[in-house]
Structure formats: structure tokens, C-alpha cells
Structure 1
Amino acid sequence: MNLYISKRHMEVFLEVSRSGTMSAAADILCVTQPAVSQSVAELEQQLGVRLFDRFRRRLSLTYAGEVFLDHVRRINSIFLEAGFRMEAIAELREERLRIGASMTIGSFILPSRIRRFTEAYPGIRIGIVVDNTARIREGLLGNQLDIGVVEGPLEHPDLITRFLAVDPLCLVCSSNHPWSRTDMIDKSEIARENFIMREDGSGTRSIIESLFTRYGIDYSLGHTINNIEGIKKVVTAGFGVTVLPRIAVADEIERGELSETYIEGIVLRREFRYAIHKDKTRYPVLAAWVEHLRASMESTE
């Protein structure tokens, strides 16, 4: 059976079944009686059954009409529910947001900000993927993520990136390292140390390599570790030095487990950015999240 039943057909059918006459239904629907009669006739022709019997100048549902009425009521209920949910989504009472974050941001920046965002918008379900910058880029390009928040470069013609905040980096060593007894070193001293780095694809690594190239800093790559906590443990144990985000080592420095040293004439810092696909629809939830993120980042600068 090749059916085409429009929402208008169902609205006319519902009103005729309620009112019991074509003329009464026409008055309520603000159309002519012939238009109502034609709509019912088209519906019966599509379905291949009679929906109404005429008794004493009133229309009465046939058994087929009763069955169809039950289904139309359920369909109408689904339409109403769909409308209510679309309204809830438009008003941010319900939504889904898939966030990708690089390691530093996902571990140290986003948790408190996501908590405050969900307190403001409890109906929004947030999924978060924390991985290196290269993986976040893949998720954005494949539409598995709605937005990425990263510190590394995301060069790709299909991605739009925007500045969020400046993130200071710091050179750290163990509390027993000779550097711990001085506030400043010359950049040439770094090449004589075992330098600990994140893995390829890490935004942090890419930025450090770029900064070292810009300032002409030579280094000897020692261990490669794919997470910040692992790097901190290795450096704390005295097996090398590293550059990490200050927010990631603030507690260890305060406890005296790590020591921060400055490089003469050089300021180490990077930028936090958010990224979305150029074809991504700018949903209200995206605008709300970016506004929340910007405000929270500015308040901590």
C-alpha cells in the first residue's frame, strides 16, 4: 500500500470524529464544508476503507475509523512531544554537547567549568573526550565532536579556531637538581640535560618545539611520555627536566617536589583556543558553552 497521509488529513479527521458533522468541523477549522468532505474522501481512498457511517445526519466512526483514530491520537501525541522537546532544545533545557579537550585542558581546566555549566544548564548532557591535539582534530573533522578546546595548533582548512586565553609554561626540575638553587639559567644549559617530552601529536610538545626553535634552544630528548602525570613523576625523581603548563605543576612546586627555573630573556607561554568545523551549525548550546568558557577563562587570568 502506497500511503500519503498528511498532517492536515489527520487534523481534519480528528475534528470530524470529535464534532460529528462536516459543517461543524469546517467551522472549527475555518475552511469550507466541501474542503472537509474532500479531505475525508481522499483519506478513505488512500486507506481503502470507510472511516465514517452517517446516522441521523451525524457521522459515526466505523470500526476502521475507531482503529485509525487510536493511531492518529498516538501520532498526534508524538508530534506534540516532538514539538515540546524541540522547544526545550531551543531554550537549552535539553541538549547534547560533545567536547574534545587536549590533556592539559581536559585534566586541569575543564572539570570545574563543566560542573558550573551543567549547574546552569542541568538538561544538557555533556560528553568529553580527553586526548592529544591530533586526536581532537580527527574527532572534529569526523563530526564525532562538536567543539575542541586545545592548546596546540589545529591547522586545517575545514576548522575554525578562536583565541581563549594565554597559558603560561614553566621549566621545572626536581628539588634536588642544581637548577633548584638558582632563579635563572642560560638557554645553553638546557642542551646538557635529559629533556622529557610528550608524545608526537601532543599540542604541548608541538608548542615547546616551536618555542625552542624560535629562541634557538637546543635540547637532548630523553624520555617520551604520553601523559603529564608520568612526566612529573619522572622529573620529580631526578631523571630529567621538562617544560609543562604552570597550572599542571603548581601543586608540586608549592609542596617543594618540583622547582621552577626561568630562562634568561625568554618567556614561555602558549594560547588556549577552541575549534569547530566550518560546516558545523552554530547551535545555541555551542554559543552558550563558548560564552561560559570565555568568561571563566577571563576571570582566572
Structure 2
Amino acid sequence: MINTHLQVFATVAEKKSFSRAAEALCLTQPAISQQIHTLEDYYGTKLFERTSKRVDLTAAGEALLPYAKQILDLSALSKGAIDDLIGRVTGTLTIGATLTIGEYILPHVLAEFTRRFPDVALNLLIANTEEIGEMMLNAQIDVGVVEGQLRHRHLTLTPYLDDEVVLLASPGHPLATCTEISAARLAEETFILREAGSGTRATSEEFLHQLGIEPRKVITIGSTQGIKETVEAGMGLSILSKWCVRREIGYGALTRLHLAGFCYLRPLSVLERIGRFQSRATAEFVSMVRTFAYPAT
């Protein structure tokens, strides 16, 4: 079918490589080459310029690519419409999630979703909030589940769960045994935070802003697990979702520092694109995220 050839064409254009496209589509490289040759015969022109290092679109290929994407999108939408009409929940659901949600919260939802809808193939992509917004705008994901704020006229954020954010230290840190901690004392500490652009970093900065604190020193680590290990090693304090550290707090690897009269809650939200057709699988997932009985943290 022409759709298969166009899918191969679009994947080669994205990967700029026949071998990487073959790997992504679980096909052999000769099969990829044959389908591109067939498509070039169909259109009567070359679609790619091949060099030893990469594959680039010709002018004809550049002209074809947006139409190929539209055809593939319409094909997927037509199948989804028929599935919806007959009440069948099938297909592929690609979800974008921020690290905290994707690694510590969403697995509970996905397990229940798979139990209820075993014919849906799930793909979960982990990225920061800004990257997930870009994925949604580029139609690389069907739905996003994010922390933090993201403003774009084509996107909507719908809060579904309040997440408590906590201040953390190692059990051996001098503040770990303090019953009353002042903002001035905290300002002297080193804080270990996520990278700029992540929802967790934005939340940490707002947490500190509400306390009126500008840290003396900040260490940036692009991994929540790396942050936890660094705090446990006594290098500084951090600010993370309670979901991320409930096990470490439970077995004593990390200590939560309590600030009198201060509690920080942030909304976790479903990210959707305005006006985009929503498959039955996407609709069922969004409904489950919003109504799921999340375990206590």
C-alpha cells in the first residue's frame, strides 16, 4: 500500500539514514531501499540524495514530505474513527511524560490501562515539559502528562492531581535534626536542582521564591536519580516531588526537612492539542489519568 511506502519515506527523512530507518521500522535495509525506489519510480524523480555519511531530501522530497505526513495522519485518523464507531479500543498510544510522572506516577496508571485495553500498544517518551510541548505541536505524541506550566495558543493544560513538593537532606546533614529552620539558614546551603527547562526546576525555583531564598550555590544535575544520590552523599539540599523520594524516606536514605507553616503543592496536568482529533485510546487514557485512585504518598 502507498501508506507503507510513505511511512518509510517519512522515517528516512526524519532519521536521515536508511539503516536507522530500518531499525526504527523493524525492517531490513534492503527492504527500505526497495520501498524508496518504488516510491521514486511512482513519482518519476529522486527523493533523496545519498552520501557516505547521510541521506538528504531532494527538492522533490522536500515538497512531498508535508503531504506524506498529512496522508499518514489522515490514515491513522480514519482507522481511529472506525474503531470508535464500533466501540473497539485498539491502535498505538504515544504518551509524553515528564520524568517525575513517567517514572514514579504513570506506571500505576499504565498497568491498569493495559489490563483494561490489552489491544492498545503503548509508547512512553520521557522528556522535560518544554520538550513534550514541542512533541505535541509536532504530532509526535498523542497526549502529554506534565508538571509545571506551559503556555501556547494551540495547547491546553488540565490539572488532575496535586503533588506535594518537599525539601530534602541526607540523614547526616546538620539540618536533619533541626525542629525549626529559618530562611536565612537555608540560603547558606548548596541546592542540587534539575536542569533549566524542566518542570521540576521551575517548581524548585518557585518553592525557593515563596520562602524568599536565593541559594548561595546551585549544582545542576539532569537526572532525578542523580540528585537523590548526590543529596544522600551529603553534597547539599534538594527540592523534589514526594512521589520521587517516598522509598528513600521510608528506609532512611533521605530526610524530609519540615518548614513550620509551609506546604508547597503543584498541579500535575494533562497536555492536549486544541482541535486535534482524539482517538478512543487517547480519550480512555485521559479519562483514566483524571479519575485514577492514586496510592497515598
Q: Which residue of 1 aligns with 2:269?
A: 273
Q: Which residue of 1 aligns with 2:102?
A: 106
Cα distance in 1 for residues equivalent to 2:80 and 2:147? 39
Q: Which residue of 2 aligns with 1:196?
A: 192
Gaps of 5+ in 1: 1-81
> Which range moved further: 209-218 or 234-243?
209-218
* Counterpart among 117, 122, 126 of residue 121 in structure 1: 117
* Counterpart among 173, 196, 217 of residue 221 in structure 1: 217
Cα distance in 2 for residues equivalent to 1:232 and 1:298? 23
Could you give the per-residue CA deviations for residues 226-261 of structure 1, whole angstroms, max 9, x where no partner exists? Answer: 111000000000000001111111111111111111
Cα distance in 2 for residues equivalent to 1:185 and 1:275? 37
> Which range moved further: 288-297 or 193-202?
288-297
Q: Which residue of 2 aligns with 1:247?
A: 243
Normalised by the size of structure 1, how large is the TM-score?
A: 0.68
Q: Secondary structure at 2:292's aligned position in 1?
A: helix
* Counterpart among 171, 178, 193 of residue 175 in structure 1: 171
Q: Secondary structure at 1:257's aligned position in 2?
A: coil
The CA deviation at 1:279 is 2.5
> Which range moved further: 185-194 or 198-207?
185-194
Could you give the per-residue CA deviations for residues 171-215 of structure 1, whole angstroms, max 9, x where no partner exists? Answer: 010010011112431222211111001001110111121232233
* Counterpart among 257, 265, 287 of residue 283 in structure 2: 287
Rg larger for? 1
* Counterpart among 260, 275, 285 of residue 264 in structure 1: 260
Cα distance in 1 for residues equivalent to 2:224 and 2:85? 37
Normalised by the size of structure 2, how large is the TM-score?
A: 0.69
1:131 paired to 2:127: yes
Q: Which residue of 2 aligns with 1:141?
A: 137
Could you give the per-residue CA deviations for residues 18-70 of structure 1, whole angstroms, max 9, x where no partner exists? Answer: xxxxxxxxxxxxxxxxxxxxxxxxxxxxxxxxxxxxxxxxxxxxxxxxxxxxx
Cα distance in 1 for residues equivalent to 2:154 and 2:284? 22
Residues 165 and 297, structure 1, Cα contact 8 Å, conserved in 2? no
Could you give the per-residue CA deviations for residues 121-177 of structure 1, whole angstroms, max 9, x where no partner exists? Answer: 011111110111111111011110111101111111110110111000110100100
Q: How high is the sequence identity, in percent, across the aligned residues?
A: 31
Cα 1:83–1:252 shift into 2, 3 Å: closer
Aligned 1:7-86 pairs, distance under 5 A: 86=82
Gaps of 5+ in 2: 1-77
RMSD: 2.2
Q: Which residue of 2 aligns with 1:185?
A: 181
Residues 169 and 243, structure 1, Cα contact 8 Å, conserved in 2? yes
Could you give the per-residue CA deviations for residues 70-115 of structure 1, whole angstroms, max 9, x where no partner exists? Answer: xxxxxxxxxxxx9899347852331221100000000001112111
Cα 1:300–1:90 shift into 2, 3 Å: farther
The amino acid that maps onto 1:161 is: L
Cα distance in 1 for residues equivalent to 2:278 and 2:296? 26
